[in-house]
């Protein structure tokens, strides 16, 4: 038993923490913030980066009410205060208040968007704030203030405000009716014009809770552009951007670009997400494996065959170091863009009879289903970590899938000539090695509550949703 006890307050996410205080003849000692015990007791996994302390000489010193764009953990380090908090977040709770007395044995976790204020009850009171973002001029623009005297919040300050000690700035803050509610942190999607990026745009609610940036708006490899992003405004970043040209990655220029995008730039993104307590969702690939196993779970070790797979594996390791991360490992993505299914459909329609390999096995991943699975993980707050995510059903070879595309489009599947990888590669150069088995075990994503649609049903829906000419 740690002795730490966490109490709800009626304002969602605002938590009152009771701390053991050890007293002796010298004074007292407490573990003011102890992440392991406090997370176990029910606090969010709060990772402060800055500790501020205010010293208040007189009883009746009153500060607030301030909602900064970050989470806070507040308490006294001597003396006592009457603390008051007002929910300034958009929603039905806007304007709701909570107050209590804080002595050394209490602390309060204040989520972003909840205004914080206090009045000292004793002289020489120290008040501590642990916060999750470094203070900056840019952060100041994200502050929201409420006047201490606001009648709607109805805070009963023990010492009437007329007799209290207030700063001029605090006296000038607006009443609730004039306060713009603090909006929720958004989800940012990078690589918005790729197959997955477009599917995410189609799946995301159109309520302003998502922001999409294509390469033209944000090139991941441009450190200055990444640096200019205000990460404190994002609760999650979904990185759908990647260097995906598997064969070109084997060339000297491609190798350099693949490493720059899929590893070096991703490392910068991962560091920024760590620094801002932002969840990073990153997409991994079956190409991190060599295909010698019948199927792969999330625990299997990396063994990539080619440069692209090597960069994806290195990227996965960087993302795994982000405290709040999802590595979503997928295979054979089919969306709005150039992919195997669209190529086969094109060949079927233009009268080309292709040879297709029958010794590489896997499952398709329709970008729509991939997007739905990613949004599901974020929505349910699934435990962080790696998740395989492809469509379900029996694995199939590329040749079988090609035949199904022809059949579903009303063409003769007999036009496909089955071949094997060795024969296909004979006489060709510049083709990256590919795993023969790309089957990703789906037990973990199912346990997280997401059932991937069967791949051939999804293929049927995908083809029927497209016009014959597309």
End-to-end CA distance of the chain: give it in Å, rounded. Answer: 63
Q: Is 242 in the site for ligand NDP (CB under 6 A)?
A: yes
**Tokens (6 digits) for 428:** 């060709």
Q: Is 391 in the site for ligand NDP (CB under 6 A)?
A: no
- Sorted by sequence, the CB contacts under 8 Å of residue 307 that are 6+ apart come out as 249, 250, 254, 255, 258, 259, 432
Which residue among the candidates 66, 173, 411, 437 is catalytic per the annotation?
66
Query: Cα–Cα distance between 79 and 60 in angstroms, integer?
Result: 12
Residues 416-435 that bind ligand NDP (CB under 6 A): none
Residues 174-193 that bind ligand NDP (CB under 6 A): 191, 193
Minimum distance between the CB of residue 188 and ligand NDP, rounded to whole angstroms? 12
Among residues 219, 298, 441, 454, the one that binds ligand NDP under rule CB under 6 A? 219
Q: Is 103 in the site for ligand NDP (CB under 6 A)?
A: no
DSSP 221: T
- Sorted by sequence, the CB contacts under 8 Å of residue 301 that are 6+ apart come out as none
Residues 276-295 that bind ligand NDP (CB under 6 A): 283, 285-286
Would residue 73 show up in a list of annotated catalytic residues for this protein?
no
Taking alpha carbons only, the member of 263, 278, 283 closest to residue 374 is 283
Would residue 66 show up in a list of annotated catalytic residues for this protein?
yes
Task: Pick between residue 155 and residue 334 the one whose CB is nearest to ligand NDP.
Answer: 334
Q: Are 348 and 409 spatial neighbours (Cβ–Cβ below 8 Å)?
A: yes
Minimum distance between the CB of residue 153 and ligand NDP, rounded to whole angstroms? 44
Which residue among the candidates 73, 127, 129, 234 is catalytic per the annotation?
129
Q: Is 342 in the site for ligand NDP (CB under 6 A)?
A: no
Report CA-CA distances (Å) from 469 to 22, 193, 199, 234, 251. Answer: 76, 22, 21, 39, 34
Task: Pick between residue 76 and residue 367 the one whose CB is nearest to ligand NDP.
Answer: 367
Q: Are 93 and 12 spatial neighbours (Cβ–Cβ below 8 Å)?
A: yes
Report CA-CA distances (Å) from 110 to 73, 113, 265. Answer: 6, 8, 33
Q: Is 386 in the site for ligand NDP (CB under 6 A)?
A: no
Tell me, by CB under 6 A, how many residues bind ligand NDP: 25
Query: Cα–Cα distance between 101 and 368 in angstroms, integer?
Result: 51
Among residues 240, 281, 356, 442, the one that binds ligand NDP under rule CB under 6 A? 240
Among residues 47, 215, 349, 376, the one that binds ligand NDP under rule CB under 6 A? 215
Interface positions with ligand NDP (CB under 6 A):
191, 193-197, 215, 219-221, 240-244, 261, 283, 285-286, 312, 330-333, 337
Just list the catalytic residues. Answer: 66, 129
């Amino acid at each position: 038993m740690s002795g730490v006890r966490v109490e709800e307050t009626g304002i969602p996410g605002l938590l009152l923490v009771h701390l053991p205080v050890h007293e002796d003849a010298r004074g007292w000692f407490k573990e003011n913030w102890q992440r392991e015990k406090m997370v176990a007791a029910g606090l969010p996994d709060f990772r402060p980066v800055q500790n501020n302390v205010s010293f208040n000489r007189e009883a009746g010193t009153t500060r607030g009410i301030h909602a900064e764009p970050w989470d806070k953990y507040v308490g006294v380090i001597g003396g006592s205060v009457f603390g008051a908090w007002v929910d300034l977040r958009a929603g039905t709770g806007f304007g709701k208040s909570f107050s209590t007395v804080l002595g050394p044995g209490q602390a309060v976790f204040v989520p972003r968007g909840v205004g914080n204020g206090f009045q000292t009850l004793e002289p020489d009171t120290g008040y501590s704030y642990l916060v999750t973002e470094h203070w900056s001029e840019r952060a100041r623009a994200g502050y929201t203030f409420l006047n201490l005297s606001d009648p709607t919040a109805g805070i009963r300050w023990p010492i009437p405000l007329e007799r209290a000690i207030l700063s001029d700035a605090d006296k000038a803050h607006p009443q609730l009716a004039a306060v713009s509610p603090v909006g929720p942190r958004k989800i940012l999607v990078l690589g918005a014009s790729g197959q997955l990026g477009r599917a995410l745009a189609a799946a995301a609610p159109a309520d302003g809770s998502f922001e999409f940036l294509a390469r033209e708006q944000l090139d991941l490899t441009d450190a200055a552009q990444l640096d200019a992003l205000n990460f404190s405004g994002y609760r999650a970043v979904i990185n759908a951007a990647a260097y995906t040209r598997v064969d070109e990655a084997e060339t000297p220029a491609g190798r350099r670009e693949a490493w720059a995008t899929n590893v070096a730039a991703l490392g910068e993104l991962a560091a920024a997400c760590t620094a801002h307590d932002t969840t990073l969702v990153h997409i991994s690939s079956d190409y991190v494996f060599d295909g010698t196993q019948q199927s792969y779970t999330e625990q299997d070790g990396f063994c990539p065959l080619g440069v692209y797979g090597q960069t994806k594996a290195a990227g996965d390791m960087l993302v795994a170091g982000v405290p709040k991360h999802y590595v979503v490992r997928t295979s054979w993505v089919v969306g709005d863009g150039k992919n195997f299914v669209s190529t086969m459909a094109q060949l079927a329609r233009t009268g080309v009879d292709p040879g297709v390999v029958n010794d590489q096995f896997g499952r398709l991943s329709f970008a729509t289903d991939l997007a739905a699975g990613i949004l599901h993980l974020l929505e349910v707050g699934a435990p962080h970590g790696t998740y395989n995510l492809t469509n379900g059903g029996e694995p199939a070879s590329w040749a079988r899938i090609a035949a199904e595309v022809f059949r579903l489009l009303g063409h003769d599947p007999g036009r496909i000539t089955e071949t094997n990888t060795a024969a296909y590669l004979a006489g060709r150069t510049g083709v990256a090695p590919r795993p023969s088995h790309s089957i990703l075990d789906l037990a973990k994503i199912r346990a997280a509550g997401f059932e991937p649609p069967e791949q051939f049903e999804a293929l049927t829906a995908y083809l029927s949703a497209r016009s014959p000419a597309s």
